[in-house]
Structures are given as structure tokens and as C-alpha cells.
A and B are shown apart, each in its own frame.
Chain A
């Protein structure tokens, strides 16, 4: 946690200064979206709504046009900044815009900036204090907008005292703060010496190092950048999450940017709201015998559902139903073969007989020491040698599971929906088969899942399923991206208890507790969950401070939120989540694997030959994208991430097509 100086402390520290120079964007003003390029997403939304689908992809094109304009300008004169005209010219080339369309885009950009502008509280405070102390206050900005436009924005944000003469913007003076060439212009215009100026801004180099090297006192304050992610990922679908994150950025005291709260109140709240809305949607479409939120992925949504009922929403009672891949699979088991026994024991696992017994749910006949380590091959042989005993145990488990399902009215005649995260639908399909047989086809289950990926296709023969944010009809790239973030989402949308591994004879579920999961819950997930429940309730009842409502919970916005956090996480999110382990073994014992893969001890010794294996490991055992960005953030291992991006382009931070 960084302790920020107050505006008064900053001025007191530099009491020799007679001029306060302030950066404009993200120091004096900000926008009601999380990052600058999301302004273009707002524009795209307006363009599509007013002029049709041909404007899809505008926001990304606008970012790319600016990049191209800068590259071209650098080739001619690397000291000067580009102007909005140059950017729009590049945009017009790419999108084949007419002159009137170009003019319209330029006007719209200015209008949109004015529409979204907000004053930064610290900016208001420090400029007011400085003026009260008799200091001259000027704005010094690296930007492509003309001073007249910045003036309009400043006035719109409430800085009515600013005049055009107070604004120095790079695109009008042939030099930038970034390269130091704008400062001589400022000093000359003010007729001041560098030592009399205090400059405050958010860019470590342009507002810190460079002016400092010229003798200007500086104070860098980058708190308004906390909500920034990769700039290229901008499309209207990101705006709901963007607005929530902007709200957090503005509302949180500058000494308290709480990453867990932001993830919970942002991405997770949106997912939970989507789970509830989707179940509510089905209720409006058909007669439903039961709504069941699956443990553990439906825990938060179930809490929200119950709270809404207590607030008078007309919702039926919904159950929180505990089943897991391992119990459903074991309950269905009618024979043991070399093929299916692999699900009891993973290829690379080293177990003990006693742990194996807990997995299969019975005592095994074995001459081996119960605590002696045995490899997968020995463990599998041992299970095969005990086939009759194991099948008797699984049959008994089936009876206990059905007792539980009966107590939760899942076997009641009619159409039931089960709300879960996803992803292949195989567990719910297995459950549906079991329920169908037991109820003699009287009980039918429909899976309402947050996401489905390719492997879900065969399950459609067995169960009706709907993937809210994603289904297997998405692109191959998106399917891979979804696969990469599954571990993250399962970790985020979880419950305070472990996974169910068995049931008592009366059907009471037995949840296993593992130390890593409990620790992660207490350290991170409890807070994430609490924030998610609060956020989802606010979205659903229309009181969210960002103005977000149920209309903003769409397939596209949920997918975008998943990608924004899951595919292009910020460094602080990676840091927070690096303490989380994911326990996936059939018995949910052991320490599991870290959500973010540990960076190799000696990255230089990794070879290109190792990368395919590493890719597979990251994909199947960790949060792939979080792990790759962690590799990228480390100077020594960055090359591994870069090579991985070349090998698998869809893993690079850009996810907007």
C-alpha cells in the first residue's frame, strides 16, 4: 500500500515554487471510463447506433491509426507530437472514410471527450491550493488535441479559471514533455526559471525524470492509471466493466486501491449477476420445477438470489446443490478398465495407499505399507486388483448421492435448471443422466452455464445447455483463451468450503478442506466474494454507483469482462492472485498447483524445445494468461512470453479482434 502525499504536503515540500505546472489527462481531468482508449469504444457504440454495423471495430482502428500517425511523424521529425488531424487522416485511409465521415469522426471524438470528462479530486485540490497561495497555475500536456479543446474540457470539468494562455500542449509547439522539448517553450512563455516551477503529473518519465533533469521540481502521482489495461483492447463490450473500474478508481481513497475489491466488484459481480439473470430469464420462458445453483461455482449467485427474494423479488426457492466431477463420475461407475481408471490416478501423481483409499471410498486389499509413496502405475494396478470392492463402494456412493439429490428435490418431476460456470458440461451431463434414469425420465436437467468451449459439443446430445458469455461457436482463438482462464474463474467464483467428495448415509455432503484453499479464501477470495455479492445486487436492483444496470449484462459484456481481467490482467491483479493455489485432484487433497505458474529458476536455461510442453502445462494446470503475463513482467523470463506469443498468437495480450 502506497501512502500518497496530500495536495498540501506536495506544495509544502516545494515551497520555493512560484509556478505550478500540471499535466492534463489523468492529473487534472479523467474520464468516466477505465482507460483513455475506452473513449473510442464509446464513440464506436454511438457510431453503430447512429450509422450502422459498418462502424464495428472502429475503436481498435482508432488506436491503430494513432500508432501509425506517430510512427510516420517520427520518421519526419521525432521531436514533435501528432495532431488529431493526422490521426484522423490515418483512420480515413484505413476505413476508407469520406471527407464528411472524417469530419464527423473528429467532431464526435471532441464531443465524446467532453461528455465523459471528470475532474480529478487531487487536481482540483492542488490547483485551488496553489492559486490560494498566489502561484501561477499552468497546464502542460503531451496530447494531440488543440489547446482550445483542452480548455473546453477543463471548463466542463469545473476548472473555470483556466484560460487558453494557461495551456501548453505538445501538438501545438513542436515538442513534447516526453523528450524535454516542450519545457523551453513553457519557460519562455512564463518568463520563469526552471527552479521556480513545480510540475505534477502521472507519467514517470514525461512528468518525472525529464523535467527533473532540466531542474524542474516534480511530483509524480499515477493513481488515475490504476485502472488502465492494455490499450488495444477497446470495444463497446468492455464499457460496463470499464465504468465499474473507473468508479472504483474515483471512489477509492488514494491510499487504498484494493485489488481484491475491484476484481470482486467488477468481473465477479458481473458474472454473478449474469448467473442470476440467466436463471431468471429461463423462469420467464418455461415452467421450471427447480432452480439449482451448483456448489461451488454457484455459491455467490445463490446468496444473491436469496437476498433478492428477501427484498421482495418474485423468485422461487433455489437450492445450493453440491456435486462434483469426481463424485458424479464415481457414482456412475459400473466397470473398471485400464482406460477409465486413469481418472482415479493422474499420470504424474505419487500417492499413498491410504490416500488412494480415500479416493475410491473404500479400504483396499493391499500388502503395501499404507503410507509408502506409490507411483501412478502401482496405484492403478492396486485399484484394478480391488475391482469388486471399488465397484461396491461406488455403488454405495451412488445411493448416497441420490439420497442427497432427492433431498434437494432434483429428482422431482419436471424441468430443472442447474446454474454453474461451465466449461465442458460433462459433469452436469453425467448428473442429468443419473437423474434421468433414477426419475424414469420424469426429471429433466438443463445446464445454464457461464461459458462453454469446444469440448462441450458432445454433451449437447445428452443435455440442453446454454453458455451465457461464450459457447463453442466462438472462434478457435476465443476457445483457447477461455480454456486458459478457466482456473482463474473457478478460483474467483468459489465458496468458503471445499469441494464435495462424498455424502453421509443421510445425504449430507462431505466437503474436503485443504489448507491452500482455506488460506487463499481467507487471504483473497472472501473479500472478492463479498464485493461480488454487493456489486451484483447493486447491478440487479439498479443502484450501482457506475450507473450499470441489468441491460448492461450481455453475452458480449460478460465475455469482455472475462477477457479484460482474465486475458489482460494488471500487474497488481497478478501479484494478488499469485498467492492462490488450485486444487484439482479427484480427492481435492494435497497442495494443488499455483494459479500462476512459478517462473523458472533459470529462465535462460529454458530452450525453445521446452516451450510446447510449457504451453500445455500453463494451459491445463494454471491460469495460462496470468502466468504468461507474469513471465512477461520479469526481465529475465520475458523472452519466454515473447516466444510463446509468436508460437501461439492468441495468447498475446490483445483479445479484441
Chain B
């Protein structure tokens, strides 16, 4: 039995998948098994990426489960978990990545806290543009997270961390069950709430998880579920809160009512906490540079045309021919 099962759900994002696998392979803690769950996407593309990755110096093992039809994200996680055996598990989305020490530090934290069910590291949120098969960084910021946000009270109002940040004891599945396959999104939030009721989440402030978010300019297929489906997230959240409202109160407290109240309370807090630490608008700089270069080039060409009219006339002729398609 390996120490850690890393379950990676993927669907038609080979470039990001290749990066995600590399981030697992680079871990300093090496007793892991990576289970790639190809959620109904083309097999050949995933196989090729995994084959290439396995040509890198091997560390841990990689297996692929090809699902014939696309299922929900949480069902894909459950399939990956069912197909693996380990003491700990982590859900690694195919667009996220880790610092090389993530597993080493997270597992040490769980070893140091025998009653805890999960260890969650600090998160850096990376905004990137994905266009034409290439990834370009735009900015990064510290994702707001603290020990307080990893308690039941801290999490009940909304999802407080992405899956990439958390390492779980597998034994928690025996206590609280698997991910809820009926949820198209926010299954991690719903699961985390059940898990935190079963045991503590240990917070590691070091920012060892990278939560990648594509900008609006990115190709649609590469989008994060949260950025391309904000309405869906809102609706599912409401549905979950409705579901919990119908559940009996525990110790006089109804889970749904608590969630609604906490969400409203958090709204103001979010605005205060969620201030980017670093925001370097590289794209703006690049665009501005391109504009300036274009202007400089145009003025050089005009100057050259004035100095050498023959060149100018030929250039105009070429431009006209290009325009009319000859």
C-alpha cells in the first residue's frame, strides 16, 4: 500500500494535465501513487501525456482510469479513490500544481497531529492566460486562508480552500463517506464540512499549493469550473443550503440556517480579506509594449518611404495586393 493516493481528474486539457503530473513527479516525498481519471475525454491524448511523463525520472507510479462517459467531478474523484489503496489521499485537479515540498510538509503535519483528518497548506492563487496551447502568467496573490477558516464555523458559510491545498487521511472516508456524486460543483465544500465534523483540519501557513485560475481572455476549454460557472456555483450553494435546512437541527443548530447566516456574515469579511498582495499586470505591459513597437515601426516605415519613395510605392503595392487577395 502506498502512503498517498493522488487522484487527478482530467478532461481534454492535455497541456495542463502534463503540467499537473510534473508537479506530482517533482515532489520530495516519493511514496505516492497517481491515479489519473480521464473523465470521458479522448484516451489517446491522456495516454500520450502520461507516457511522456513516465519517461521522466520515475518517482511513484502513475495509472490511468479511462471513463467511457463523462461523469461529475465528484464521481470521478470517487472512482479514483475506489481504484487506489493508501493511508492518505489528495484530490489534485489537472490545472493546479504544488510546490515540490507539499506532500512532505503536509504528511509531516498529519503525523504530528494524529487526531486531525486533513492538513491544508497555504495557497497562492495564480492568474494565467491560456491561449493557443500556451500558458502565460498574469499575476498571483496570496489566497486568504487561516486556521479559523478551516473549522466547521469557518467553512459553513462557503468553500474556503481549493482541493489542491488539502491532504486527507483515507480513514475519514469510512467515517463520513465519499464525495457526493450528485453535485456538479462544490462537492469538495460539502465533503469538507462532513470531514471537519469528524476531525480537525491542520493549517500549514506555508504557501505550498498553487491554485491556477484562467483569465477571461483564455480559451474556453481551459477555464476553471469556478470562473466559467459562477451561476452554477451560486445555484448549487443555494440547493445545498436548502438541503441542510431540511435536516434536523443538531444541538439546536440547523446546518442550513447556520450556512446562510455565515455566508452573509462572510460577504463583508471577504471583501476585506481578499486583497491581492502582488498584482503585476504583465499582460498590460506586453500589450502596451506591442502598441509602442507597432507605432515605432510605422513611423520608421513612413520615414523610409520618404527617403526612398521606390520602397514606399512597392510596399503600398504589396499591401494592396494582399488586401485584394492577389
B138's closest neighbor in chain A, by CB? Answer: A476
Chain A residues with Cβ below 8 Å from B301 are 375
Given A377-B318, A476-B126, A650-B280: A454 touches B136 (CB 8 Å cut-off) = yes
Query: In angstroms, how far is the closest chain A Cβ from the Cβ of B113?
Result: 14
B-contact bits for A638-651, CB 8 A (1 contact / 0 none): 00000000011110
Contact pick for B286, options A282, A475, A616, CB 8 Å: A616
Cα–Cα distance between A348 and B290 once the two chains are bound (Å): 13
Cα–Cα distance between A615 and B287 once the two chains are bound (Å): 12
Query: Which of A33-41, A176-184, A213-221, A466-474 binds B?
Result: A466-474
B14's closest neighbor in chain A, by CB? Answer: A461
Q: At the interface, yes or no: A120 with Cβ under 8 Å from chain B?
A: no
Given A381-B318, A464-B56, A612-B288: A648 touches B134 (CB 8 Å cut-off) = no
Contact pick for A446, options B14, B56, B288, B296, CB 8 Å: B56
Query: Which of B4-12, B98-106, B165-173, B213-221 binds A?
Result: B98-106
Q: Are B15 and A457 in contact (CB under 8 A)?
A: yes
A616's closest neighbor in chain B, by CB? Answer: B289
A657's closest neighbor in chain B, by CB? Answer: B207
Q: At the interface, yes or no: A458 with Cβ under 8 Å from chain B?
A: yes
Cα–Cα distance between A472 and B136 once the two chains are bound (Å): 11
Given A463-B52, A466-B56: A471 touches B134 (CB 8 Å cut-off) = no
Q: Are A461 and B18 in contact (CB under 8 A)?
A: yes
CB proximity to B under 8 Å, residues A371-385:
375, 377-378, 381
Interface size on B, as a range, is 35 or more
Q: At the interface, yes or no: B135 with Cβ under 8 Å from chain A?
A: yes
Residues of chain A at interface, number, CB under 8 A? 45
Given A286-B58, A458-B15: A473 touches B140 (CB 8 Å cut-off) = no
Cα–Cα distance between A282 and B23 once the two chains are bound (Å): 18
Q: Are A461 and B56 in contact (CB under 8 A)?
A: no
Cα–Cα distance between A480 and B126 once the two chains are bound (Å): 14
Q: Are B19 and A472 in contact (CB under 8 A)?
A: yes
Given A286-B57, A461-B14, A462-B52: A477 touches B97 (CB 8 Å cut-off) = no
Cα–Cα distance between A35 and B301 once the two chains are bound (Å): 52
Cα–Cα distance between A32 and B29 once the two chains are bound (Å): 33
Cα–Cα distance between A471 and B293 once the two chains are bound (Å): 30
Query: In angstroms, how far is the closest chain B Cβ from the Cβ of A612?
Result: 4
Query: In angstroms, how far is the closest chain A Cβ from the Cβ of B251?
Result: 35
Given A454-B136, A477-B278: A461 touches B318 (CB 8 Å cut-off) = no
Cα–Cα distance between A423 and B84 once the two chains are bound (Å): 36
Contact pick for B314, options A53, A378, A446, A555, CB 8 Å: A378
Q: Are A473 and B18 in contact (CB under 8 A)?
A: no
Query: In angstroms, how far is the closest chain B Cβ from the Cβ of A290?
Result: 14
Q: At the interface, yes or no: B137 with Cβ under 8 Å from chain A?
A: yes
Q: Are B280 and A649 in contact (CB under 8 A)?
A: yes
Contact pick for A612, options B21, B210, B292, B315, CB 8 Å: B292
Given A281-B57, A446-B55: A471 touches B289 (CB 8 Å cut-off) = no
Cα–Cα distance between A285 and B57 once the two chains are bound (Å): 7
Cα–Cα distance between A446 and B57 once the two chains are bound (Å): 9
Q: At the interface, yes or no: B53 with Cβ under 8 Å from chain A?
A: yes
Query: In angstroms, how far is the closest chain B Cβ from the Cβ of A336?
Result: 16
Contact pick for B137, options A454, A461, A616, CB 8 Å: A454
Contact pick for A473, options B16, B210, B285, CB 8 Å: B210
Q: At the interface, yes or no: B153 with Cβ under 8 Å from chain A?
A: no
Highest count of chain B CB atoms <10 Å: which of A461, A472, A555, A650: A461
Q: At the interface, yes or no: A74 with Cβ under 8 Å from chain B?
A: no
Cα–Cα distance between A466 and B100 once the two chains are bound (Å): 13
Q: At the interface, yes or no: A465 with Cβ under 8 Å from chain B?
A: yes
CB proximity to B under 8 Å, residues A250-304:
281-282, 285-286
B-contact bits for A439-467, CB 8 A (1 contact / 0 none): 00000101000000011011011111110
Given A53-B105, A460-B18: A375 touches B52 (CB 8 Å cut-off) = no
CB proximity to A under 8 Å, residues B206-258:
206, 210
Q: Are A457 and B18 in contact (CB under 8 A)?
A: yes
Q: Are B280 and A458 in contact (CB under 8 A)?
A: no
Query: In angstroms, how far is the closest chain B Cβ from the Cβ of A555?
Result: 8
Q: Are B210 and A348 in contact (CB under 8 A)?
A: no
Q: Are A460 and B53 in contact (CB under 8 A)?
A: yes
Q: At the interface, yes or no: B49 with Cβ under 8 Å from chain A?
A: yes
Query: In angstroms, how far is the closest chain A Cβ from the Cβ of B98?
Result: 7
A380's closest neighbor in chain B, by CB? Answer: B318
Q: Are B289 and A612 in contact (CB under 8 A)?
A: yes
Chain B residues with Cβ below 8 Å from A446 are 55-57
Q: At the interface, yes or no: B139 with Cβ under 8 Å from chain A?
A: yes
Q: At the interface, yes or no: A613 with Cβ under 8 Å from chain B?
A: yes
Cα–Cα distance between A282 and B56 once the two chains are bound (Å): 9
Q: Are B292 and A613 in contact (CB under 8 A)?
A: yes
B-contact bits for A598-630, CB 8 A (1 contact / 0 none): 000000000001101101100000000000000
Chain A residues with Cβ below 8 Å from B282 are 476, 480
Q: Are A473 and B278 in contact (CB under 8 A)?
A: no
Query: In angstroms, how far is the closest chain B Cβ from the Cβ of A35?
Result: 27
Contact pick for B285, options A281, A375, A648, CB 8 Å: A648
Q: At the interface, yes or no: B65 with Cβ under 8 Å from chain A?
A: no
Q: At the interface, yes or no: B297 with Cβ under 8 Å from chain A?
A: yes
Q: Are A615 and B289 in contact (CB under 8 A)?
A: yes
Chain A residues with Cβ below 8 Å from B198 are none
Chain B residues with Cβ below 8 Å from A285 are 57-58
Cα–Cα distance between A555 and B137 once the two chains are bound (Å): 22
Highest count of chain B CB atoms <10 Å: which of A444, A460, A612: A460
Chain A residues with Cβ below 8 Å from B48 are 461
Cα–Cα distance between A458 and B48 once the two chains are bound (Å): 13
Q: At the interface, yes or no: A347 with Cβ under 8 Å from chain B?
A: yes
Q: At the interface, yes or no: B177 with Cβ under 8 Å from chain A?
A: no
Q: Are A53 and B206 in contact (CB under 8 A)?
A: yes
Query: In angstroms, how far is the closest chain A Cβ from the Cβ of B123?
Result: 13
A-contact bits for B133-153, CB 8 A (1 contact / 0 none): 111111110000000000000
Chain B residues with Cβ below 8 Å from A326 are none
Q: Are A282 and B288 in contact (CB under 8 A)?
A: no
Query: In angstroms, how far is the closest chain A Cβ from the Cβ of B16?
Result: 8
Cα–Cα distance between A143 and B15 once the two chains are bound (Å): 55
Given A463-B52, A612-B289: A455 touches B124 (CB 8 Å cut-off) = no
Cα–Cα distance between A232 and B141 once the two chains are bound (Å): 23
Cα–Cα distance between A464 and B19 once the two chains are bound (Å): 11
Q: Are B19 and A457 in contact (CB under 8 A)?
A: yes
Cα–Cα distance between A649 and B318 once the two chains are bound (Å): 44
A-contact bits for B181-206, CB 8 A (1 contact / 0 none): 00000000000000000000000001
Q: Are A375 and B99 in contact (CB under 8 A)?
A: no
Chain A residues with Cβ below 8 Å from B56 are 446, 464-466
Q: At the interface, yes or no: A479 with Cβ under 8 Å from chain B?
A: yes
Query: In angstroms, how far is the closest chain B Cβ from the Cβ of A647?
Result: 8
Contact pick for A616, options B21, B49, B285, CB 8 Å: B285
Q: At the interface, yes or no: B64 with Cβ under 8 Å from chain A?
A: no
Q: Are B58 and A476 in contact (CB under 8 A)?
A: no
Chain B residues with Cβ below 8 Å from A476 are 126, 137-140, 278, 280, 282
Partner-B contacts on A (CB < 8 A): 53, 56, 281-282, 285-286, 347-348, 375, 377-378, 381, 415, 444, 446, 454-455, 457-458, 460-466, 471-473, 475-477, 479-480, 555, 609-610, 612-613, 615-616, 647-650
- A347-B293, A460-B18, A647-B285 provided; 19 other pairs, C-beta below 8 A? A348-B293, A377-B315, A377-B318, A454-B128, A457-B135, A458-B15, A458-B18, A458-B135, A460-B52, A460-B53, A461-B14, A461-B18, A466-B26, A472-B135, A473-B23, A473-B99, A475-B124, A477-B140, A613-B288
Could you pull out 27 A-B pairs where Cβ atoms are within 8 angstroms? Answer: A53-B105, A286-B57, A347-B293, A347-B297, A375-B311, A446-B57, A457-B16, A457-B134, A458-B134, A460-B19, A461-B14, A464-B53, A464-B54, A464-B56, A466-B56, A471-B26, A473-B22, A473-B99, A473-B210, A476-B139, A476-B278, A480-B280, A480-B282, A610-B292, A612-B288, A612-B289, A616-B293
Partner-A contacts on B (CB < 8 A): 14-16, 18-19, 21-23, 26, 48-49, 52-58, 97-100, 105, 124, 126, 128, 133-140, 206, 210, 278, 280, 282, 285-286, 288-289, 292-293, 296-297, 301, 304, 311, 314-315, 318
